Structure 1
Amino acid sequence: MSKEQRARIDARLRQPRPEAPRTIEEMRAGFEALMSGMTVPDGIRTTRTALGDRPALRVAPEDRARAGTILYFHGGGWVSGSPEASLAVTGHLVTRTGRTAYSLDYRLAPEHPFPAAIEDTLGAYRALLDGGADPSAVVFAGDSAGGGLAVTTCLAARDAGLPLPAAVLAFSPGLDATRTGESIDTKEGVDPFFTRASVERTGMLYLAGADPRQPLLSPAVCADLSGLPPMLLQVGTNEILLDDSTRLAARARAAGVDVILDVTADVPHVFQAFADELDEADEALDRAALFLDQRLRAATA
């Protein structure tokens, strides 16, 4: 049953952690170990490639791919993660949509703080366009920090005068470096994965002294969202980052943007990664695939 599934996953995420702050290497190893336990679906082919100046992982369906491209940005708090670590999510998007995804290996902090990641993601989009991709047949997607990058890369593309993608899909996105959402405190302890202290530490490493009150760091509170393409934001009620999504959705609606705020009860951060063991994850991925299909079908019809 779903209630039992949620309880089992919550307990797994609450395993004891070291009291002393972990080194960057320990953080990265721990994240990779966590993500290695997620189910990667059958029916995909992966190939190392490059987009712009950065490596990327091409994730394609085994059968003939349908028209359209998913440009995916992995999670990891801007300091951890990789295309391989997020393959459970990208793989399920590919198998559900029949579309090819490119998951970007963007530079990480603290070695490469803001704005390096956005320079890389925007460069990857430019590379797709330069390679002949129709922007109306491209969607941006990502989870956690990568979900934030899906939104901010769209802002950067708009401000650079580039044609915008067909849609943005963000799973549990990080959208507020100011950490002013109420949920960062009201969900403390409810969230089995994050604390205010943990996100403030990774945020500090990414900012490296930059003012968090700027659009490419805190679009949920600072950005002009006008002109952005349709967005789907998926988030769980057990997240301290819940209000990142709720506030961005409200501001997007006020700016005349088509936005779907998809909130699932009693699930953790990036719960979609638990596909095949959590019913809500599979259902959310089905809704995400439908959203992408609708946007890409309209573009490629």
Structure 2
Amino acid sequence: MKNEALAKVIKRVQKTYAGWSKDTSVADMRVDWDNLFNGNTTPVETCDFHINALHCRWIAHQNADSNKVLLYFHGGGFRLGSIDSHQDLMARISQFSGCKVLGINYRLIPEHRFPAALEDAFNAYSWLLNNGYSSNQIAIAGDSAGGNLVGALLNQLNSLDIALPAAAVMLSPWLDMKATSDTYQSRAKFDPIHQHKMILALARDYLRTEADADDPLASPLCASLDGLPPLLIQVGDHEVGLGDSIQYADKATNAGVEVELEVWDEMIHAFHLFAADLPEANRAIEKIGEFLRQRLN
């Protein structure tokens, strides 16, 4: 591999995966996952609090405008990840966007199945609307499973005729619970994080029934996308879920939505989490910042 920084990142990921066996507990996996991504190299102010039982964290760079908020949903296959694993990514987005970021520890599987995570996302968005923020001051974003929550939340708000956020950002989003895209095979040899069997196993754990796989609140790719706010979708060319992003962007564009789809050469799933090591990740986050600055009032 010509990209030596990326090769080192992949080795770190593979080392974490190699340390797991069928006997490794979910709790231990969550600790390992947080340690894999938790860099916290960007100086920010943080404040933890709760919305009922939902653990939340404000993250604000010194240049953040307190009147502009990005609600962020972390990734991790609905099983792993937290506001700790994703704090550095959220901090970098705050720095480049000039927004305060609100991260949430939504409920995870196997303890809590669909639609628990979406309920938490909805409650966090509703809390913002009920606490002084208008929809044109709010954007939403997420990576992987968090990208799924972005799409699902937009669908839910649309169906309930609740004001949509000013913009949405999806990073390596998982948008199809059936994982039907041909990129699940064509990119398999390149992707060190996700594989087709793993995605389907996570989907089975997340969903209550097989029928839920066609529910637009579980698989945003199944939804009607009319009326959605401007979207930025960033995805790596070397990830199996590439097809989810391409199909969703095409469907949204055909529905008249303003969509920017960026496919990053050689990049892997959720490469943004390695911004301390990958210049490409930092450039991608800078573009996220520019996108949000242009669309938040």
**TM-score of the superposed pair, with normalisation by structure 1:** 0.92
**1:169 partner letter:** V
Cα deviation, residue 11, structure 1? 2.6
Is the CA contact (8 Å cut-off) linking 1:181 and 1:243 kept in structure 2?
Answer: yes
Query: Identity over aligned residues, as a percent?
Result: 33
**CA, structure 1 residues 62+203, in 2 after alignment: closer, same or farther (shift >3 Å)?**
same
1:40–1:87 CA contact under 8 A, matched in 2: no
Give the CA deviation at 1:3.
1.9
Instruction: Name the CA shift for 1:66/1:125 in 2 (closer, same or farther; >3 Å).
Output: closer
Paired residue secondary structure (1:67) = strand
Cα shift readout 1:67-115 (whole Å, capped 9, x = no counterpart): 3110111111111111111112101001112211110111111111000
Unaligned runs of 5+ in 1: none
AA paired with 1:275? A
| Residue aligning to 2:90 | 90
Aligned to 1:20: 22
How much has 1:125 moved relative to structure 2? 0.8
- 2:50 paired residue number: 50
Give the aligned partner of residue 170 of structure 2. Answer: 170
Alignment of 1:17-166 (within 5 A): 17-18=19-20, 20=22, 22-36=24-38, 38-42=39-43, 44-51=44-51, 53-63=53-63, 65=65, 67-166=67-166
**Structure 2: which amino acid aligns with 1:28?**
R
Letter in 2 for 1:229: P
Q: Secondary structure in 2 aligned to 1:262?
A: strand
Q: CA deviation at 1:134?
A: 0.8
- How has the CA–CA distance of structure 1 residues 234 and 271 changed in structure 2, closer, same or farther, with 3 Å as cutoff? same
**C-alpha offsets along residues 269-294 of structure 1, whole Å, 9 cap, x if unaligned?**
11111113211101101111100001
Give matches, 1:176-195, under 5 Å: 176-195=176-195
CA contact (8 A) 2:178 2:200 kept: no
Output the amino acid matched with 2:99: R
Note the aligned Cα RMSD (angstroms): 1.8
Compared CA separation, residues 71 and 263, structure 1 to 2 (3 A): same
Q: Deviations over 1:162-215 (max 9, x none)?
A: 100000011111111011011111111210111112222222111132420121
Cα distance 1:156–1:2, how it changes in 2: closer, same or farther (>3 A)? farther
Aligned 8 A contact 2:97 2:288 in 1: no
Kindly state the Cα deviation for residue 19 of structure 1 after the two structures are TM-superposed: 5.2
TM-score w.r.t. the length of structure 2 is 0.94
* Residue of structure 2 equivalent to 1:215: 216
Structure 2 spans left out of the alignment, 5+ residues? none
* CA–CA distance in structure 1, aligned partners of residues 81 and 162 of structure 2: 28
Q: Give the AA of the match of 1:5.
A: A
Decide whether aligned partners of structure 1 residues 239 and 181 sit closer, same or farther in structure 2, where only a CA change above 3 A counts: same
**Residue 64 of structure 1: CA displacement?**
5.8
Contact 2:71 2:140 in 1 (8 A): yes
> Which residues in structure 2 correspond to 1:211-290 (within 5 Å)?
211=211, 212-220=213-221, 222-290=222-290
Contact 1:70 1:101 in 2 (8 A): yes
SS in 2 for 1:194: coil
Secondary structure of the 1:164 match is coil
Alignment size in residue pairs? 294
**What's the offset of the Cα at 1:131?**
1.0
Cα deviation per residue 1:2-28 (whole Å; 9 max; x = unaligned)? 822122222322333545374322332
Report the equivalent of 1:9: 9
CA contact (8 A) 1:79 1:109 kept: yes
> 1 CA distance for matches of 2:129 and 2:177?
30
